């Protein structure tokens, strides 16, 4: 059997880890920096902090932010707004669901904490949509549908072709005009940051858009065309 030569790590230039010493931590930034020299998820978080600092500090670095999941329902949307407002982000790629649920907050509506004593059947009867431990009112989504319909009725691209980025900008412009609450699309419009939604049809926002477009098209048909 071949004899192994056991290395000590230093001779191979390995980076040593350090115990997290809270006595040396004076700020949240200090904590994140220290966590970069720990392990597992703590190290990943610290490394992410380091990368973000380098990225945002480099004026020549264009940043495309990709986001998914229930961030806006979880009340993390303001973080994205702040990044846009501070010029840290030059473009956004997101899911339609994330934009839709953030929109309800932008027009002054509310999400609520889920009480596990209530069954999903009870919630359904009351018009409450459960997203993990949070509730989105069905009435909120109805108001969102009305907003989308009103925007499509009053706005149209010059070439008549909508894209997800064009539509998100139109929504952002409306949010800027009514100025009720913070919103990713509102901040994106104000800072001229394009927002792309690749799977646009797979969301409440996309369904509202499609439904309104179909109803508008039917409204322009003659009686004979409708029969056919």
Query: Vertex 65, ends 62 and 70: CA angle to 5°?
Result: 170
The verdict on residue 6 lying in a domain is no
Residue 174 belongs to domain spanning? 62-227
What pLDDT shows up at residue 222? 58
> In what order do the strands lie in the sheet containing 195-196?
64-67, 91-94, 195-196
Confidence at residue 216, expressed as pLDDT on a 0 to 100 scale: 81
pLDDT digits (tens, 9 = 90+) for 140-149: 999 999 999 9
- Whether 146 and 55 share a structural domain: no
CA distance 24 to 76: 29
pLDDT at 214: 87
Together in a domain, 149 and 113: yes
How much is the pTM? 0.86
Q: Per-residue pLDDT tens for 210-228? A: 888 888 887 765 556 545 5
Same domain, 67 and 52: no
Q: What is the pLDDT of residue 228?
A: 52
H-assigned helices in the chain: 28-35, 40-57, 77-85, 96-106, 120-126, 138-154, 164-178, 184-190, 204-219, 223-227
State which residues of the chain have pLDDT below 70: 220-228
pLDDT at 25: 97
Looking at residue 203, what is its pLDDT? 84
The reported pLDDT for the residue numbered 47 is 97
- Please enumerate in sequence order all residues whose Cβ is within 8 A of that of 215, keeping only pairs 6 or more positions apart, or say none: none
Residue (of 139, 174, 138) closest to 153 by Cα position:
174
Residues 27 and 78 reside in one and the same domain: no
Residues 122 and 209 in one domain: yes
User: Could you give the 3-state DSSP secondary structure of residue 102?
Assistant: helix
For position 46, what pLDDT does the model report?
Answer: 97
Answer whether residue 2 is part of any domain. no
Kindly state whether residue 11 falls inside one of the protein's structural domains: no
Same domain, 141 and 168: yes
Name the domain boundary from 61, 83, 117: 61
* Residue 54 belongs to some domain of the structure: yes
């Amino acid at each position: 059997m071949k004899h192994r030569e056991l290395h000590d790590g230093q001779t191979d230039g390995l980076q040593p880890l350090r115990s997290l010493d809270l006595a040396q931590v004076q700020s949240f930034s200090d904590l994140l920096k220290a966590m970069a020299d720990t392990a597992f998820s703590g190290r990943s978080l610290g490394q992410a902090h380091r990368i973000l600092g380098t990225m945002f500090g480099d004026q020549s670095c264009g940043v495309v932010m990709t986001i998914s999941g229930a961030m806006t329902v979880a009340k993390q949307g303001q973080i994205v707004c702040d990044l846009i407002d501070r010029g840290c982000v030059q473009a956004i790629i997101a899911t339609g669901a994330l934009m839709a649920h953030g929109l309800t907050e932008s027009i002054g509506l509310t999400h609520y904490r889920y009480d596990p004593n209530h069954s999903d059947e009870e919630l359904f009867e009351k018009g409450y949509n459960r997203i993990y431990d949070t509730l989105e009112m069905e009435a909120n989504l109805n108001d969102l549908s009305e907003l989308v319909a009103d925007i499509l009725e009053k706005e149209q691209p010059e070439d008549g072709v909508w894209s997800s980025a064009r539509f998100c900008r139109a929504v952002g412009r409306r949010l800027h005009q009514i100025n009720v609450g913070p919103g990713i699309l509102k901040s994106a419009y104000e800072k001229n940051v394009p927002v792309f939604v690749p799977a646009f049809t797979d969301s409440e926002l996309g369904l509202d858009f499609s439904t309104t477009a179909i109803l508008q098209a039917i409204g322009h048909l003659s009686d004979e065309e409708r029969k056919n």
